[in-house]
Amino acid sequence: MSTRRDFLQQSLIAAGVLATTNSFAESMVEKGRMTKLTILHTNDVHSHVEPFPTNHKRYAGKGGVQNRFNLIQKLRKENSNILLFDCGDIFQGTPYFNEFGGELELKLMSQMGYDASTMGNHDFDNGMDGFLEVKPNANFPFICSNYDFSNTILKNHTIPFKVFEKSGIKIGVFGLGIKLDGLVDKKLYGDTVYQDPIKKAEEMVSILKKNHSCDLIVCLSHLGFSYQEKKLSDSTLATSTSGIDLILGGHTHTFLETAKEFKNKDGKKVLVNQVGWAGINLGKIDFYFQKESNKRVNLTSSGVSYLQIK
């Protein structure tokens, strides 16, 4: 019975009809029929190097870099394809930042194996020169797609997108920052030009899909999860664009227990997640991929077919 069910489910998956169950997807991974990719993420850690003190009212003992690292290492042992991202506001919130300017935060993230981060508004808190001074402690790139730094000292210190490859799967990552005007002191961000996130997102998706043949598109965002007032957020970004598979967010310190599912402009699924702040939670997004069958590959690449006519 179970074989038959497996077979049916498999056929339906191939037809793209049925959402698979977790155990089924995992069994497909074990059999080598599917490839699993896990994306881990944080946001708004705000210099919370140490866990909350044991007498803290809400978050006693939670967070802390060593605890986070232990969890990441445990997950790395369980999954071979892992990416680790942060969505900004790495800085500001404890004296570690006031005293050492973010040097320690970036050293620790490098040690934990972060693959990339985007910039939050508080990452400008010591000005662009303050950011640049500690940036050499980061061995990962800062991905900022809609901040134009070309007339500032941050020119060429961030990248607009990056393509990662895990077991053959190509993951295209871009980053969106929040409007700085009114939020960050002008003297701190200088001549940084904020560009429309939706337009930039569409441009990035096009580049990542067309020029880089990405299988998965991920946006690292510091726009915020959603707002009561009419203001661009991850929720509006998800529904008003196409091609993005995952938006990892920050800024609004929103604790989501599970990633929220939206339908994009084309009616396709987009996941949005955010994990509160201060490193209390780590987000974990699992993707299951199936390599296109030979038949499918033939159909979508150059090939010759013979048709017999009487």
- Range in contact with another protein (rule: CB under 8 A) among 42-50, 78-86, 195-203, 230-238: 42-50
Q: Least separation, in Å, of the C-beta of 90 and another protein?
A: 13
Q: Least separation, in Å, of the C-beta of 156 and another protein?
A: 27
Which positions from 72 through 91 interact with another protein, judged by CB under 8 A? Answer: 73-74
Task: Give the count of beta carbons closer than 10 Å to the beta carbon of residue 223.
Answer: 27
- Total number of residues that touch another protein (CB under 8 A): 97
End-to-end CA distance of the chain: 44
The Cα–Cα gap between 243 and 208 comes to 10
The Cα–Cα gap between 224 and 220 comes to 11
Which positions from 179 through 238 interact with another protein, judged by CB under 8 A? Answer: 181-187, 209-210, 213-216
Which positions from 129 through 188 interact with another protein, judged by CB under 8 A? Answer: 168-170, 181-187
Angle CA 273–276–277, to nearest 5? 130
Q: Between residues 156 and 304, which has the closer beta carbon with respect to another protein?
A: 304
Q: Between residues 155 and 231, which has the closer beta carbon with respect to another protein?
A: 231
Identity of the residue numbered 37? L
Q: Are strands 147-148 and 193-194 parallel, antiparallel or unpaired?
A: antiparallel
CB-CB contact of 109 with 137 (8 Å)? no
Q: Between residues 55 and 156, which has the closer beta carbon with respect to another protein?
A: 55
CB-CB contact of 219 with 176 (8 Å)? yes
The Cα–Cα gap between 78 and 127 comes to 40
Q: Which of 117, 125, 220, 234 binds another protein (CB under 8 A)?
A: 125
Q: Between residues 150 and 293, which has the closer beta carbon with respect to another protein?
A: 293
Q: Which of 81, 92, 233, 235 binds another protein (CB under 8 A)?
A: 92
The Cα–Cα gap between 35 and 167 comes to 8
247 makes contact with another protein (CB under 8 A): no
Q: Between residues 193 and 299, which has the closer beta carbon with respect to another protein?
A: 299
283 makes contact with another protein (CB under 8 A): yes
Q: Are strands 82-86 and 116-117 parallel, antiparallel or unpaired?
A: parallel
Which positions from 99 through 118 interact with another protein, judged by CB under 8 A? Answer: 99-100, 104, 107-108, 111-112
Q: Least separation, in Å, of the C-beta of 271 and another protein?
A: 5
49 makes contact with another protein (CB under 8 A): yes
Q: Between residues 96 and 149, which has the closer beta carbon with respect to another protein?
A: 96
Q: Which of 50, 148, 191, 203 binds another protein (CB under 8 A)?
A: 50
What six digits make up the tokens of 41? 């993420």
Burial class (CB in 10 A: 0-12, 13-18, 19+), 261: exposed
The Cα–Cα gap between 214 and 209 comes to 5
Q: Between residues 65 and 154, which has the closer beta carbon with respect to another protein?
A: 65
